[in-house]
């Protein structure tokens, strides 16, 4: 019977980074994924390793939120292969993000606020260094040393380090086993031959995003409180546009909001694809696909004077940001961790905060206490017959029915 120190459910950034950190500390870890690695939030994210821009714009740079200012430097070291986990095989889309504003007063104030309280302070670019795309934008153009990575390659990079410790399981056959004291002691799953396998464990970590709630109900039914949820969801409706676009990554700010956040990548056919998030994606939740696309196009025209949208193809996708529930219902400032004995349920809140979440989980493991088991790889061979999950494809690779806008958008129509 396989015996491990920690079983992790969910192969997104939270589960994979925690697996690396716990393994580095000597814990025997096994990660279980029901679908594809990174499916749900991670691969659908824009991949910006930010240091608190939204918190600063909204006046939320409290003591706990300041931890996010440290994240870009931590990620930068890992991406350079100078710190574990070694992310040197992760594709870096850009080493910086641009920051700009519109003519509105609120946008001017937002740009000023963005320069206050950030660890990574925007650097004003000289006119000759401003990208052509932003050459007609008002005011100074800022550049933030916050990297933008490919979430797909990040997940693949993290997973490749543990090929024998990540397996795919059938959620319909999952059973949590408790000892006579009610403590989690094992997990039962079926192998590809439909034979039941029991895996003993000292602790369990749930990092399955929106799937955490149902997993928690299975693992610890007593946690459920009538009328109260342990998780909240914050939906997004993201726009995609592909075609003759330049590679570009950045934010246009307006007061306490980012009007649009643009990140870019190259699809499997060599076309540039932009993901458009920010306020567009939040407002777009109440819109159908066509309305969201038209709204995103208008916001692009308003934010990037002179941009040419004719001939481009558009699409959209929806994604739920799953978070630990807060009393106010507002976005949490930090990673959320719910603990019941040796069962942990965690939400990183943002991609950039995964290192902080992993560190806190390992500290809690030590406090239970769960001690690392002496090195022994024999348990891995007992799981060799299980299938390995694939990495989820980026949303633009699975999107269908791309559309073109019938009428060109002008500055007048955007106003």
Tell me the CB-side half-sphere exposure of residue 413, using CA atoms within 13 A.
Answer: 11
Q: Within 10 A of 364 (CB to CB), how many other CB atoms are there? A: 18
Distance CA 145, CA 190 (A): 46
In whole angstroms, what is the distance from residue 161 CA to residue 20 CA? Answer: 8
Q: How far apart are CA 260 and CA 241, in angstroms?
A: 13
The pLDDT, as a whole number, for residue 67 is 65
Burial category of 62 from C-beta neighbours within 10 Å (exposed 0-12, middle 13-18, buried 19 and up) = exposed
3-state secondary structure of 21: helix
What average pLDDT does the structure give for the chain?
88
The CA distance from 381 to 385, in Å, is 8
Q: Is 233 helix (H, G, I), strand (E, B) or coil?
A: strand
pLDDT at 347: 96
DSSP at 67: G
Contact 158, 85 (CB under 8 A): yes
Strand 97-101 with 250-254, pairing: parallel
Q: Can the peptide bond before residue 215 be classed as cis, meaning omega within 30 degrees of 0?
A: no
Contact 259, 303 (CB under 8 A): yes
Position 256 scores a pLDDT of 65
For residues 269 and 276, is the Cβ–Cβ distance under 8 A?
no
Question: Could you report the per-residue pLDDT of 322-374, keeping only the tens digit for each?
Answer: 999 888 878 888 899 999 999 999 999 889 999 999 999 999 999 999 999 87
State the Cα–Cα distance between residues 249 and 296, nearest whole angstrom. Answer: 16
- Which pLDDT value is given to residue 66? 61
Give the pLDDT of residue 306. Answer: 84
Residues 6 or more apart whose CB falls under 8 angstroms from that of 305 comprise 136, 137, 411
The strand pairing partners of 34, in sequence order, are none
Those residues with Cβ within 8 angstroms of residue 56's Cβ, 6 or more apart along the chain or in another chain: 113, 114, 116, 117, 118
Confidence (pLDDT) at 328: 81
Does the global pTM surpass 0.85? yes
For 385, the token pair is 């017959």
Q: Which of 239, 237, 231 is nearest to 208 (CA)?
A: 231
Cα angle at 39 between 33 and 40, to 5 degrees? 115
Task: Determine phi and psi for 160, rounding to 5 degrees.
Answer: -65, -20
Q: Which residues of the chain have pLDDT under 70?
A: 52-67, 103-121, 223-228, 255-256, 407-415
pLDDT of residue 118: 45
Rounded CA separation 380/247 (Å)? 43
């Amino acid at each position: 019977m396989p015996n491990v120190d920690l079983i992790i459910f969910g192969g997104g950034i939270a589960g994979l980074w925690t697996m690396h950190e716990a393994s580095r500390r000597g814990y025997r870890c096994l990660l279980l994924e029901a679908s594809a690695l990174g499916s749900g939030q991670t691969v659908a994210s824009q991949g910006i390793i930010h240091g608190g821009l939204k918190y600063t714009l909204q006046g939320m740079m409290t003591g706990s939120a300041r931890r996010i200012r440290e994240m870009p430097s931590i990620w930068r070291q890992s991406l350079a292969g100078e710190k574990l986990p070694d992310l040197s095989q992760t594709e870096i889309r850009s080493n910086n993000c641009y920051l700009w504003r519109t003519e509105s007063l609120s946008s001017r104030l937002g740009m000023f606020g963005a320069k206050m309280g950030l660890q990574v302070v925007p650097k004003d670019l000289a006119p000759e260094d401003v990208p052509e795309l932003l050459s007609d934008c008002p005011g100074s153009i800022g550049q933030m040393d916050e990297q933008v990575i490919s979430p797909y390659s990040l997940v693949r990079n993290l997973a490749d380090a543990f090929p024998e410790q990540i397996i795919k399981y059938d959620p319909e056959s999952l059973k949590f086993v408790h000892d006579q004291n009610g403590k989690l002691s094992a997990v039962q799953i079926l192998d590809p031959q439909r034979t039941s396998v029991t895996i003993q464990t000292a602790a369990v970590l749930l990092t399955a995003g929106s799937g955490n709630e149902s997993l928690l109900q299975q693992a610890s039914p007593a946690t459920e409180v009538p009328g109260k949820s342990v998780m909240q969801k914050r939906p997004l409706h993201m726009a995609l546009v592909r075609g003759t676009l330049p590679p570009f990554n950045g934010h246009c700010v307006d007061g306490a909001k980012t009007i649009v956040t643009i990140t870019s990548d190259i699809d499997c056919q060599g076309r540039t694809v932009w993901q458009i998030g920010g306020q567009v994606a939040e407002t777009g939740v109440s819109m159908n696909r066509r309305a969201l696309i038209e709204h995103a196009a208008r916001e692009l025209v308003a934010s990037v004077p002179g941009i040419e949208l004719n001939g481009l193809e558009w699409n959209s996708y929806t994604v739920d940001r799953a978070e630990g529930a807060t009393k106010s219902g507002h976005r949490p400032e930090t990673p959320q961790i719910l603990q019941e004995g040796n069962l942990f349920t965690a939400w990183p809140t943002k991609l950039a905060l995964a290192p902080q979440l992993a560190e806190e989980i390992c500290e809690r493991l030590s406090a239970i206490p769960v001690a690392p088991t002496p090195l022994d790889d024999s348990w891995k061979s007992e799981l060799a017959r299980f299938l390995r999950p694939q990495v989820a494809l980026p949303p633009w690779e699975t999107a269908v029915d791309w559309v073109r806008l019938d009428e060109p958008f002008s500055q007048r129509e955007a106003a």
